[in-house]
Chain A
Amino acid sequence: MNAIIFSAILGVVMMFTGIFTDKKPVITLTAIISLIVLLTVNLLNSYGLFSIQIDTKDLLHFNKLGLFFNTLMIAATLIFVLLSGSEIEKISNKTADFYALIFFVLCGTAILTSYNGMLMLFLGIEILSIPLYILTGSDKHNLKSNEASLKYFLMGSFTTGIMLMGIALLYGATGTFGMASVGTGALPPSSGVQGPAFLQVAGLLLLFAAMCFKVSAAPFHFWTPDVYDGAPSVFTSFMATIVKAAGFFAFIKLFASNASLLGPTWNILLSFVIIATLLAGNITAVFQRSIKRMLAYSSIAQVGFMLFALYSNNDLGTEGILLYTVAYSLATIGFFAILMKVKDYTFDGFNGLGTTQPVLAFVATICLLSLAGIPLTAGFFAKYYMLASVVKAGGPLWMVIVAVLFAAVSAYYYFKVIQAMYFKEGQPETTEITGGFKFGLLLVAAAIVLVGVLPSIVLNCFYF
């Protein structure tokens, strides 16, 4: 409960800082302090030292996994603000509002990690999404940003409708918004009464489609490239990591207990979505000329891998999704922070970065190796756990083989950046880079390698 209450309060606090000061660094500093406060209260909650209790009539249910995941999200946001806070300041003079919106998004993630009923799921998704529509369009004099925002808003609202429809059907079938009742309380499909079972299946399928949209899994991924490309890079980084991971967590939580209702169809449906996501993301990413757009498609491809956790639905899958979130967030936030410093977002814009900015290029390389899943980086263990969980769950070997072949394809476009940085000549233009920024980047790289050698660090935190 701590995180929900504090993120909402701190969001309001952030709004008011905008009234009292115009100094952007002060606002950023306030945001950083607020995030640390938020992180602390959430940690206190996780270890049961201090928690605000409110009777939510079991609409929210706080468990260790959810709280830990929330910690990861807040920590990722903190790293994100530390590295890219200066970029948020550059967008316009509404800095305080942007930070406020980020806190509201975190409120949404806190609800999504603890929801225990359809109603809260819906609220969480909406609290998460609405600030994002605004953040996407925050660069209001840029047409692409406007377009992205409108597109995201229209598509997002439409999906919200689908989701509500799904929830309504489930409610009609079971008579409750509760989670447990979705799968168990209803009449079994074999009872001869076709009505409720059919409603349930239809409701679940609609929910599935809506959640696929939120995490940008194929074939509901079409909004992603345009929105990620059009939004200011700094918010793309935020959306592609923290927001997506939170959506994912909700997705898995929702279907971990209910998937059985769909019977064997579920595995077929999910394998189709996984393969389609891997295919759409990877193959399209290969052909991009803008690195930002490539990252948008590659984030779709990464979703394909994350969906394995949903497929396997076992302990390795849970650990895997935690590791994946850490690995993917670190690498993406780190790489986006570097991308924003380079003026030209095309692959050619990175030519020769290894010579002109060795630190940036080095950290970018570590991030890209991690995204590609090369051993000794966090990304390897993320992928490893995903594959292991499917093999353990007895999933079809062909699907795993297809997945690793796509992982090899992903190496192609990630390595294209490395090739540009180190093997090609050029004088890339960069904005001013401070020593502190470089230091922060090196810490991110060190964290990626550390998790890559000892993934138990992350998992021990979870089990502690």
Chain B
Amino acid sequence: MITLLLILTPLVAGLIAFVLKQGNSAKTFALLASIATLAIALVAVFTTGEIGYDAAWLNNLGSRITLKADGMAKMLSLLTAVSFPLIFTAVYNNEYKNAASFYGLMLLSQAGLMGVFLASDALLFYFFWELALIPVYFLCSIWGGEKRIAVTFKFFVYTFIGSLLMLIGLLFMYFNTADQSFSLQSFYAVKLTAQQETIMFWLFFIAFAIKMPIFPFHTWQPDAYEQSPTATTMVMSGIMVKMGVFAVIRWILPMFPNAAAQSANLVIILSIIGMIYASLIAIRQDDIKRMIAYSSIAHIGLMSAAMFTNNQTAMDGVMIQMFSHGVNVIGLWIIADLIEKQLGTRNMSQLGGLAQKAPVMAILLVIMALANVALPLTNAFIGEFLMFNGLFQYNMVMAAIAGISIILAAVYTLNMVQRVIYGELNVITEKATDIPLNVKLALVIITLLVLVFGVFPQPLLNLTGDSVSALFVKK
């Protein structure tokens, strides 16, 4: 029941938000609804053991509304539930035209994301996978930047192709299940020939790789992140990319262990290429948003490489990092949005000296930046350390090459910090004031999450421990 509420609360709230009067009522309502969802998610997290919900849906197709929350699903629902109030708080002062529709769509996307993480039925999973996409498509296209239409459409077509390929995979698996059912358990039990397994692996993997995104499927991402309204960018990079990572762990690895092992080398090499490539481009960026976008590709690359090492430590790292990256990147976006809203530019070359005008923001930005570099004592360190550990055991050379990306991350992140908050004030940054209360609140909460999990990550590891061990016991 709790799991159902996690989806229904944002879904119903989203639909209600559409009919609310334009203006402040919608955003207050959305904030309250997201806090309610957070409360439910916390209940879910503190309930021990697997919780679930099951109801009949399409009997003649063998599909049921089955929701299950194991550790990984709980962790990601928590991430989703934490992110939305933070986002709504941070953008509370932003004025959106047709605010009611904006917040309605945001809440609908939250419902879709929750569904993706909780669904334990393949067809239901597919539904939520798309439900998360459509609102985001509208959000980006209506409230986005100048080039929004073309850019978000590229994003849409990419993911739509991926979804359709996955749909074929789902159908094929479905007809090979013993009991003609879409349930996760039946899918796990399907026996395929080696060749079939390889084809299925790629049909699913391309869908998820596009979402993450992994090199060479990443080309939609920087443009989409840049052009979207920042609130949506936060959803996309903080949570939506985790859909891809999550889906690989939940669906691909247990279903196609042999094909995954066979293709591991290729996937890891692609991921590492993506990491280095994205890091190098990030260094060259002048636009803060684009820099964060490329840095995000690099971080996701590490996660996807670690997933395929077939190493339990690395998988623990992926779990922590999914949560940490989600929180950290939202923090970075909040600051980027703040700077853009205040000064009207995101170009580092036009900024500088903000530390003198906005000391609190400077401190918070430094903390976010250090978390992005994965410095010890920040939450990202634990995850990256565990992932590199696993990657090192898998292949030393690959780990070494991937390690370069840490150095590169320090280069572009600290460079950004330096150019934005230090140096001389100029005409543009003269106008800067320190951060408003609502943004401060959101960032302080994020900072707390960064530091608390940086020092004491054990609760997160305990939470996702069952999912990880289940993954490795099966083999």
Q: Which positions in A face B, CB cutoff 8 Å?
A: 369, 374-376, 384, 387-388, 391-392, 397, 400-401, 404-405, 407-408, 411-412, 415, 419, 422-424, 454-456, 459
> Which residue of A is nearest B164, CB measured?
A404
Q: A90 → chain B, closest Cβ, in Å? A: 34
**Contacting residues, chain B, for A401 (C-beta < 8 A):** 165, 168
Q: How far is B165's CA from A374's CA once the two chains are assembled, in angstroms?
A: 14
**A411 / chain B contacts, CB cutoff of 8 Å:** 156-157, 160
Chain A residues with CB under 8 A of B199: 397
Besides the contacts A404-B161, A419-B141, what 6 more A-B pairs have beta carbons closer than 8 Å? A375-B130, A376-B130, A397-B168, A407-B164, A412-B153, A422-B141
Most buried by A among B60, B171, B174, B199: B171
A420 (CB) vs chain B CBs: closest residue: B149
- Cβ contacts under 8 Å, B175 to chain A: 388, 391-392
In the complex, whether B142 has a CB less than 8 A from a CB of chain A is yes
Known A-B contacts A397-B172, A404-B164; A374 and B130 likewise in contact (beta carbons under 8 Å)? yes
Q: B392 at interface (Cβ–Cβ under 8 A)?
A: no
Does A408 contact B164, Cβ atoms closer than 8 Å?
Answer: yes
Q: Is the CB of B157 within 8 A of A423?
A: no
Closest to B58 in A: A456
CA distance A422 to B95 in the complex (A): 19
Q: Closest chain A residue to B126 by CB distance?
A: A375
B148 at the interface (CB under 8 A from A): yes
Nearest A residue to B143 by beta-carbon distance?
A423
CB pair A415 B156 closer than 8 Å: yes
Within 8 A of A (CB), among B416-455: none
| B59 interface contact, C-beta 8 A | yes
For A415, the chain B residues whose CB sits under 8 A away are 153, 156
B127 within 8 A of A: yes
Give chain B nearest CB distance to A395 CB in angstroms. 11
Q: Are A387 and B168 in contact (CB under 8 A)?
A: yes
- CB contacts (< 8 Å) of A419 on chain B: these are 141, 149, 153
CB neighbours of B171 from chain A (8 A) = 384, 387-388, 391, 400
Q: How many residues of B contact A (CB 8 A)?
A: 28
Nearest chain B CB to A46 CB, angstrom units: 20
Contact B157 A408 (CB under 8 A): yes
What is the CA–CA distance of A400 and B167 in the complex, to the nearest angstrom?
A: 10
Q: Compute how far the CA of A238 lies from the CA of B434 in the bound complex, rounded to whole angstroms.
A: 63
Chain B residues, CB < 8 A from A407: 164
Measured CB to CB, the closest approach of chain B to A184, in angstroms, equals 30
Query: Min CB distance, B276 to chain A, in Å?
Result: 30
Q: Which B35-62 residues have a C-beta within 8 angstroms of A?
A: 57-60
CB distance from B72 to the nearest CB of A (A): 24
A457 to chain B, nearest CB (A): 11
**12 A-B residue pairs with CB within 8 Å:** A375-B127, A375-B130, A376-B131, A388-B171, A404-B165, A411-B160, A422-B141, A422-B142, A455-B58, A456-B58, A456-B59, A456-B60
A415 to B167: give the CA distance in the assembly, Å.
Answer: 20
Chain B, Cβ-Cβ closest to A459: B60
Is B20 located at the chain interface by the 8 A CB criterion?
no
Q: How far is the CB of B116 from chain A (nearest CB, A)?
A: 12
B134 located at the interface, meaning its Cβ lies under 8 Å from any Cβ of chain A in the complex: yes
Task: Judge whether A404 and B141 touch: CB under 8 Å.
Answer: no
Decide: A405 near B161, CB < 8 A? Known: A376-B127, A419-B141: yes
Which residues on A sit within 8 Å (CB–CB) of B172? 391, 397
Query: Are B149 and A423 touching (Cβ within 8 A)?
Result: yes
Residues in chain A near residue B57, CB distance under 8 A: 454
Q: Which of B179-206 contact A (CB under 8 A)?
A: 199
Which B residues, 108 to 134, have Cβ-Cβ distances below 8 Å to chain A?
A: 126-127, 130-131, 134
Whether the pair B130, A423 counts as a contact (CB closer than 8 A) is no
Residues of A within 8 A of B217 (CB): none
At the interface, yes or no: B96 with Cβ under 8 Å from chain A?
no
Taking CB atoms, residues of chain B closer than 8 Å to A392 are 175
- CB atoms of B161 and A423 under 8 A apart: no
What CA separation (Å) do A408 and B59 show in the bound complex? 29
Query: How far is it, in angstroms, between the C-alpha of A68 and the C-alpha of B434 when the chains are bound?
Result: 69
Across the interface, name the chain A residue whose C-beta is closest to B174: A388
Contact of B160 among A400, A408, A424, A456 (CB under 8 A): A408
Report the minimum CB–CB distance from B468 to chain A (whole Å). Answer: 30
B167–A387 touching, CB < 8 Å: yes
Q: How far is the CB of B190 from chain A (nearest CB, A)?
A: 14
Which residue from chain A places its CB closest to the CB of B196 in the assembled complex? Answer: A397
Provide the residues of chain A in CB contact with B138, threshold 8 Å: 422
* Chain A nearest CB, measured from B183 CB (Å): 17
CB distance from A309 to the nearest CB of B (A): 15
Partner of B168, one of A375, A400, A455: A400
Chain A CB within 10 Å — which of B126, B156, B160, B172 has the most? B160
Interface of chain B residues 137 through 151 with chain A (CB within 8 A): 138, 141-142, 148-149
Can you name the residue of chain A whose Cβ is closest to the Cβ of B152?
A: A423
Cβ contacts under 8 Å, B157 to chain A: 408, 411-412
The residue that A423 contacts in the complex, of B134, B141, B164, B167, with Cβ under 8 A, is: B141
> For the complex, what is the distance from the CA of A415 to the CA of B164, rounded to whole Å?
16
Closest-by-CB residue of B relative to A372 is B160
Distance to closest chain A CB from B34 (angstroms): 22
Report the Cα distance A454→B127, complex, angstroms. Answer: 12
CA A253 – CA B121 in complex, angstroms? 35
Nearest residue, chain A, Cβ from B140: A423
Name, among B58, B127, B141, B168, the residue most crowded by chain A CB atoms within 10 Å (CB to CB): B168
| A455 contact set on B, CB distance < 8 A | 58
Q: Which 10 A-B pairs have the closest CB atoms?
A: A404-B164, A375-B130, A408-B161, A391-B171, A375-B127, A423-B141, A423-B149, A388-B171, A408-B160, A400-B168
- For the complex, what is the distance from the CA of A424 to the CA of B148, rounded to whole Å? 11
The one of A387, A397, A423 that contacts B142, using a Cβ cutoff of 8 Å: A423
Complex formed: what's the CA distance from A374 to B134 in Å? 9
Q: Which residues of chain A are near B60, meaning CB under 8 Å?
A: 456, 459
Q: Give every chain B residue within 8 A of A456 (Cβ-Cβ).
A: 58-60
- Note all chain A residues with C-beta closer than 8 A to B130: 374-376
B130 CB to closest chain A CB, in angstroms? Answer: 4
CB distance from B474 to the nearest CB of A (A): 26
Shortest distance in angstroms between B143's beta carbon and chain A's nearest beta carbon? 10
A3, B377: Cα distance in complex, Å: 78
CB-defined contacts of A454 to chain B, threshold 8 Å: 57-58
Interface residues of B in 194-227 (CB under 8 A from A): 199
Collect the chain A residues with CB atoms within 8 Å of residue B161's CB.
404-405, 408
| Bound form: Cα–Cα A459–B60 in Å | 10
